[in-house]
Amino acid sequence: MASRLSAARAVRQLTSSATRRPSAFVCQRWQQRPQIVERRLFSVSAAIREKKYTEDHEWIELSEDGTTGTIGISTYAAKALGDVVYVELPQVDMDVVAGDTIGAVESVKSASDILSPISGVVAEVNSVLEEKPQALNKDPEGESWIAKVKVEEGVQTVLESLMDKKAYEEFTKEE
Amino acid sequence: MAPSRGHFRRATFRSIFPKPIVQSILYNRRTLSSASFSQELANPARKVQSYISTSRDPYLNLSIEDYILRASPADSTVLFLYVNRPCVVIGRNQNPWSEVNLGILCSKKQSTSAAFGHVDLVRRRSGGGAVFHDEGNLNWSITCPRSQFTRDTHAEMVVRALRKLGIDRARVNERHDIVLDQGPRQESVDPVDTHRTSYTVQDGPRPLKVSGSAYKLTSARALHHATTLLSSPNLPLIPQYLRSPAKNAIQAKGVESVSSPVSNIGLDVQHFQVRLQEEFAIVHSSSEQRLVVQELGEEHLSIPAIRKGYDELRTNDWMWSQTPQFTLSLQPYLDLEISIRHGIIQKLEGTAKMVEEWRSALLGHKLQDVRSWSAFLQNRLDPWTNECAVLANYLEVHLPVPELFES
């Protein structure tokens, strides 16, 4: 397991510094951003649209037209966290880079980061979680999604590197 | 389990490095350069590491701690001890206006109301509630692999360290905090059980809290940090700092503190610090070699990641704008409710006469930009009615924005 974790995690550890928190510290990046995918990607295949999981226990699912990715935390993660008392959501229009913190969950005196598996711009957040944080325990992989991110070109490569449901289940058994 | 109190009495404490009694630890007083600290910390061969801070700066100590969480090897276990100058530390998702008596933190008033100088205000990165720190409080933090993490493991180790110093009333409670039981002595219980003492009672005097825990979890790592009230001279003042006049007027999302009666353990900070470092070495370091305790401090602020974290913790944005959405009610003085999100006034609702004028004066303003509500409103409102004065006074009391630290 250790070898599987190593590279991707090392990168995330380095990129997910506290200053990338969603609120208040959104810096305007001066670099030219890759093009946001505005129209349907003809290359979006069924395999890519399948729900994928990260080793950090987030899930991501592409919209039918392939332009938006819905991000949430896995049922396994929600169980491990215990009773959620607060969900910190990102701000709409925030720029994210894969591995960035896009939110945080507090449960039983613990703050845990939610990382974005992909790069893009936050298009929508699930405000229900602000009112009812405990909903995250009930339906983490359905109604209690965290954010929708407008994806960039190259998202396929990222998604291909993530685990499908079966691989993720294997992975959580090992943990 | 024999208490080793007698041995400690013979020890002399010349510096912050008292002589270790058990030969399990070794102090390294040579200060590591920033580059070598970064290297040592990230060295995959160093599975067990022990550090202590010479700084009393809460912002720096929390930033060193966060750096340890992010830069230590994924399978390592790291102890970091520090003592902060007087400060109030709130949890990541708390509302400072409802959790802290900010009025007495405003620096001009502080010198008259407190027995000590300025009290800093800090928002930490971990969850949990508001606490008061001073020089009689030792903070311990342990970073370990997430896969090994439980909320009790490290508190249990601290209870064992306390019991070895004769504190036999100490146990871990259901909130993962450490308390001293106050019941009469009953039959002996299993001395290995860190969740029960001979003084644990169902009904009877409430246990006193002596250590409060909070956690920060990343994908591979878990940080558990906690206070330990050993010999605070300010115990009677603590409630005064953690009781807000705005508590009942504020409806806040996020995390409310659970207030508990507290007590000093009655041990010397250095005395307990050594015992804890030894306990940590015994539990985690299997080798015959003694575990080196390395000193960290202000010089390590030159590490860019520590500097970045330090600067961020000291910003008004982190302190005030990070506050979860909340509303402030002005009942029964005015029929008005003010809603604030990301530290910005978003809505004013109610039937107060001048609500329209107040809206145009207040909407869109960041609380942290207002140092005096009276001056702010007087500049923007004409005519200045009695109701305006009521509003200004109310905001002065309920939504003050003190300086975080002495500049």
CATH code, domain with A73: 2.40.50.100
Instruction: Please name the member of A13, A14, A88 whose beta carbon is closest to the beta carbon of B93.
Output: A88
Model ipTM? 0.84
Inspect the interface and report whether the beta carbons of A85 and B255 lie closer than 8 Å.
yes
pLDDT at residue A172, as a whole number: 86
- Taking residue A4's Cβ as centre, other Cβ atoms within 10 Å add up to 12
End-to-end, the C-alpha distance of chain A in Å comes to: 8
Which B residues, 377 through 406, put their C-beta within 8 Å of a C-beta on chain A? none
Helix residue spans in A67-114 (DSSP H): 75-81
Tokens encoding A20: 């990338």
Q: Which residues contact B54 (CB under 8 A, 6 or more apart)?
A: B16, B295, B296, B297, B298
Whether residue A98 lies inside any domain: the answer is yes
- CB contact (8 A) between residue A23 and residue B322: yes
For residue A33, the distance in angstroms to the closest alpha carbon of chain B comes to 24
How much is the pLDDT for B104? 86
Measure Cα distances from A40 to A66, A124, B187, B389 in Å.
Answer: 6, 19, 74, 58
* Closest residue, chain A, to B341 (C-alpha): A23
Chain B contact set for A107 (CB, 8 A)? 127
Q: Do A6 and B218 touch (CB under 8 A)?
A: no
On whether the CB atoms of residues B100 and B120 are closer than 8 A, the answer is: no
Evaluate whether B151 touches B279 at the Cβ level (below 8 Å).
no
Q: Tell me whether residue A116 is in a domain.
A: yes
Q: Where are the beta strands (DSSP E) in B103-153?
A: 120-123, 131-133, 139-145
| pLDDT of the residue at A33 | 53
Note whether residue A68 is domain-resident.
yes
What is the residue type of B97? W
Share of chain A above pLDDT 90, in %: 42
pLDDT value of residue A27 = 38
Q: What is the pLDDT of residue B287?
A: 66
pLDDT at residue B116 in the model: 63
pLDDT of residue A127: 93
Alpha-carbon distances of B102 from B107, B112, B120, rounded to whole Å: 10, 15, 11
- Asked if residue A29 has pLDDT above 90, the reply is no
* Predicted confidence pLDDT, tens digits, chain B (407 residues): 333 333 333 333 334 444 445 567 777 767 788 889 999 999 999 999 999 999 999 999 999 999 999 999 999 999 999 999 999 999 999 999 999 999 888 655 554 444 567 899 999 999 999 999 999 999 999 999 988 888 999 999 999 999 999 999 999 999 999 999 998 888 888 888 999 998 898 888 999 999 999 999 988 899 999 999 999 998 988 888 999 999 999 999 999 999 889 999 999 999 999 999 999 998 888 766 788 899 999 999 999 999 999 999 999 999 999 999 999 999 999 999 999 999 999 999 999 889 999 999 999 999 999 999 999 999 999 899 999 999 999 999 999 998 888 77
Expressed as residue numbers, the domain containing A114 is 2-15+45-174
Lowest mean pLDDT among A4-13, A61-70, B135-144, B303-312: A4-13
Contacts of A9 in chain B (CB under 8 A): 74, 219-220
Residue A12 above 80 pLDDT? no
Note the pLDDT of residue B304.
Answer: 95
Residues in A 9-68 with any Cβ partner in B closer than 8 A: 9, 12-14, 16-19, 21, 23-25, 55-57
CA gyration radius, chain B: 23
Identity of the residue in A5, A12, A110 whose CB atom sits nearest the CB atom of B217: A110
Q: Do A17 and B216 touch (CB under 8 A)?
A: no
With H, G, I as helix, E, B as strand and everything else as coil, classify residue B294. strand
- The count of structural domains within chain A is 1
Question: Would residue A166 count as lying in a domain?
Answer: yes
Residues in chain B with CB shorter than 8 Å from the CB of A93 are none
pLDDT given for residue A50 in this prediction: 85
Predicted local distance difference test score (pLDDT) of residue A65: 84
A25 pLDDT above the threshold of 50? no
pLDDT given at position A36? 58
Q: How far apart are the C-alpha atoms of B302 and B313, rounded to whole Å? A: 16
d(CA B377, CA B394): 12
Output the CA torsion sign for B39, B41, B47, B49.
positive
Residue A9 has a pLDDT of 42
Q: Which CATH class is domain B5-321?
A: alpha beta
Query: Which of A25, A109, A136 has the highest number of chain B CBs within 10 A, making it the mutation to test binding with B?
Result: A109
| Most B CBs within 10 Å, among A26, A110, A173, to test the B interface | A110
Question: What is the domain partition of chain B in residue ranges?
Answer: 5-321, 326-398
pLDDT in tens, A112-122: 999 999 999 99
Task: Tell whether A168 is covered by a domain.
Answer: yes
Per DSSP bridges, beta strands A58-62 and B213-217 are unpaired
User: Would residue A21 count as lying in a domain?
Assistant: no
